[in-house]
Amino acid sequence: MSGSVSLRSLEHTALLCSRRRVRTVSLFPSPMAAMASNTSGPVPFTDVDDGTVPKRPAKEEFGGLVAALPRKHQAGLELRLYQGFWLPDHWVAGTVVFQRRFAPRPDDVILASYPKCGTTWLKALAFATMTRDAYPAPAQHPLLRLNPHDCIPFLDEIFADGQEAKLEKLPSPRLMNTHMPHTLLPESVTGAAVAGCKVVYICRDPKDMVVSLWHFLRRRQPELPFAELFEHVCDGAVAVGPIWDHVLSYWRASLARPDRVLFLRYEELLQDTGKHVRKLAEFMGRPFSPAEEGAGAVEGVVELCSFEKMKGLEVNKKGSAGAYHAMPRDSFFRKGVAGDWVNHMTPEMATRLDEVVRDKFRGTALAAP
Q: Which residues are catalytic?
A: 179
Q: Measured between alpha carbons, how far is 17 from 23 in angstroms, rounded to an integer?
A: 7
Cis upstream peptide for 136 (omega within 30°): no
Strands 175-178 and 198-203: unpaired
Q: Which residues contact 134 (CB under 8 A, 6 or more apart)?
A: 23, 25, 34, 37, 38, 43
Q: Are 250 and 204 in contact (CB under 8 A)?
A: no
| Neighbouring C-beta atoms of residue 296, cutoff 10 Å | 12
Phi, psi (5° rounding) for residue 111?
Answer: -95, 125
Q: Measured between alpha carbons, how far is 140 from 32 in angstroms, rounded to an integer?
A: 12
Q: Which residues contact 307 (CB under 8 A, 6 or more apart)?
A: 121, 333, 336
Angle made by CA atoms 92, 250, 57, in degrees to the nearest 5: 15
> Which candidate, 341, 321, 346, places its Cα nearest to that of 147?
321
Secondary structure (DSSP) of 107-149: T-EEEEE-TTSSHHHHHHHHHHHHTTTT--SGGG-GGGTS-HH
Q: Which residues contact 84 (CB under 8 A, 6 or more apart)?
A: 183, 245
Q: Which residues contact 130 (CB under 8 A, 6 or more apart)?
A: 41, 42, 109, 173, 175, 284, 286
Phi, psi (5° rounding) for residue 49?
Answer: -80, 95
Helices 59-67 and 89-101 pack at an angle, to 10 degrees, of: 120
Angle made by CA atoms 163, 169, 173, in degrees to the nearest 5: 115
Q: Measured between alpha carbons, how far is 159 from 156 in angstroms, rounded to an integer?
A: 6
Q: Measured between alpha carbons, how far is 96 from 365 in angstroms, rounded to an integer?
A: 32
